């Protein structure tokens, strides 16, 4: 597994050079509140301030800058990946098709269209839209951009790790929410390559933890997916995903958090840190809070992966 870790880290270095003019170097912010025992330092890597409100633009830009000149691209997502890909395509002048489910929220459809990409509505839910995008790619020779199962996407997300090590030399722990695994695989590979002493903590939502359970089983497994505040990390993973072996190689420990724990973290970020973030970002903080005693006297970083939240949910959970 060492080979895939170092190869991904090297790929992230290359991606960083290609995308640095098309993404925002997000700040590393000291926590205002008190977390854990005395002497414990907590920092937030604030991807919630990224250009599209989410880290996803990094992976999309990485793919687009690595693609063959003139190659048409296609993806599917009604969330952060679709928005990030569309923004990256406009910034880079790439020809992108975004397949969205017919049930897409109108505001998200409007946002994606505002970047000038071609939009196709297909299927009742995102899974069917993804299958259609993959079919178009196979039939027409287009490059399909997976939200997580793509080496260039993983490398793009890994550029967060490069920035983090530049901003803070002595990081003991990094807490990252786990969905499909592209984010934690990319960042984890960079950290293990350049700062092997840093512990990588994967944080899973108990209502949808496909990657965590697959890592424990050593193979892709099916699991029940219930509604979760961390909706950006919900859902299954591909049978051939690159992220399962990579995450297994770089993640030191997994923490699973309940909906109550995620809700509590949403309230903390809103009321103590003065930041409104999405549930998947709060999930990472919930993971740290659960093991804070074990990080006593150390420097820990919580990755706030995004801030594209549902307004009604935020008002009810974090501000109510």
Domains of the chain: 3-54+150-319 (3.40.50.1100), 72-141 (3.40.50.1100)
In order of 78, 93, 312, the CA distances from 111 in angstroms are 10, 17, 19
1, pLDDT greater than 70 = no
Average pLDDT score over residue span 226-234? 92
Q: Can you tell me the mean pLDDT for 6-15?
A: 98
**Sheet with 173-177, side-by-side order of all strands:** 28-30, 41-46, 299-304, 173-177, 199-205, 253-257
CB contact at 8 A, 249 and 4:
yes
For strands 173-177 and 199-205, give the pairing.
parallel
| Ranges 7-11, 40-44, 208-212, 221-225: which has the least confidence | 221-225
Buried b (16+ CB within 10 A) or exposed e, 252-280: eebbbbebebbbbbbebbbeebebbbbbb
Mutual orientation of helices 2-19 and 243-250 as an angle, nearest 10°?
100
Is the pLDDT higher at 37 or at 101?
101
Measured between alpha carbons, how far is residue 206 from residues 25, 133, 212, 234 in Å? 31, 29, 10, 10
Residue 108, pLDDT above cutoff 90: no
Q: Can you tell me whether residue 3 is helix, strand or coil?
A: helix
Mean pLDDT of 59-81: 94
Q: Is 213 left (phi over 0), alpha (psi -120 to 50) or beta?
A: alpha
Q: Which residue has tokens 């830009």?
A: 61
Closest among 134, 154, 160, 164 to 4, alpha carbons compared: 154
pLDDT tens readout for residues 165-201: 999 989 999 999 999 999 999 999 999 999 999 999 9
Question: Is pLDDT at 105 greater than 90 in this prediction?
Answer: no
Indicate the pLDDT class of residue 35, thresholds 50, 70 and 90: confident
Percent of the chain with pLDDT over 70: 100
Q: What is the pLDDT of residues 82-93, one digit of tens each?
A: 999 999 999 999
- Tell me the pLDDT tens digit for each residue of 246-294: 999 999 999 999 999 999 999 999 999 999 999 999 999 999 999 999 9
Using DSSP's 3-state secondary structure scheme, residue 303 falls into: strand
The predicted pLDDT at position 127 comes to 83
Chain centroid offset of residue 166 CA: 20
For residues 212 and 254, what is the distance between their CA atoms, to the nearest angstrom?
7
62 has pLDDT over 90: yes
Strand 73-76 with 28-30, pairing: unpaired
pLDDT band of residue 2 (cuts 50, 70, 90) is confident
Helix (H) or strand (E) holding 4: helix 2-19
Q: What is the mean pLDDT of the chain?
A: 94
């Amino acid at each position: 597994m060492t080979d895939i870790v170092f190869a991904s880290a090297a790929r992230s270095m290359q991606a960083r050079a290609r995308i640095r003019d098309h993404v925002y170097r997000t700040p590393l912010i000291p926590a205002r509140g008190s977390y854990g025992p005395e002497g414990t330092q907590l920092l937030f890597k604030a991807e919630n301030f990224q250009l599209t409100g989410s880290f996803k633009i990094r992976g999309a830009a990485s793919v687009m800058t690595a693609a063959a000149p003139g190659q048409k691209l296609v993806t599917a997502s009604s969330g952060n990946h679709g928005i990030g890909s569309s923004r990256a395509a406009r910034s880079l002048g790439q020809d992108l098709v975004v397949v969205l489910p017919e049930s897409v929220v109108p505001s998200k459809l409007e946002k994606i269209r505002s970047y000038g990409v071609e939009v196709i509505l297909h299927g009742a839910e995102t899974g069917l839209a993804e299958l259609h995008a993959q079919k178009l790619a196979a039939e027409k020779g287009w490059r399909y951009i997976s939200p997580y199962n793509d080496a260039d996407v993983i490398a793009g997300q890994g550029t967060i790790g490069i920035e983090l090590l530049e901003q803070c030399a002595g990081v003991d722990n990094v807490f990252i929410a786990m969905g499909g695994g592209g984010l934690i695989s990319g960042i984890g590979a960079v950290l293990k390559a350049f700062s092997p002493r840093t512990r990588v903590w994967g944080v899973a939502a108990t209502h949808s933890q496909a990657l965590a359970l697959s890592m424990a089983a050593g193979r892709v497994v099916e699991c029940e997916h219930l509604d979760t505040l961390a909706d950006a990390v919900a859902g299954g993973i591909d049978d051939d995903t690159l992220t399962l072996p990579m995450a297994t190689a770089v993640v030191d420990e997994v923490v699973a958090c309940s909906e109550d724990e995620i809700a509590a973290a949403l309230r903390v970020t809103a009321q103590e840190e003065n930041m409104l973030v999405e549930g998947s970002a709060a999930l990472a903080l919930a993971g740290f809070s659960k093991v804070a005693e074990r990080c006593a006297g150390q420097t820990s970083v919580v990755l706030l992966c995004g801030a594209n939240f549902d307004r009604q949910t935020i008002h009810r959970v974090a501000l109510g």
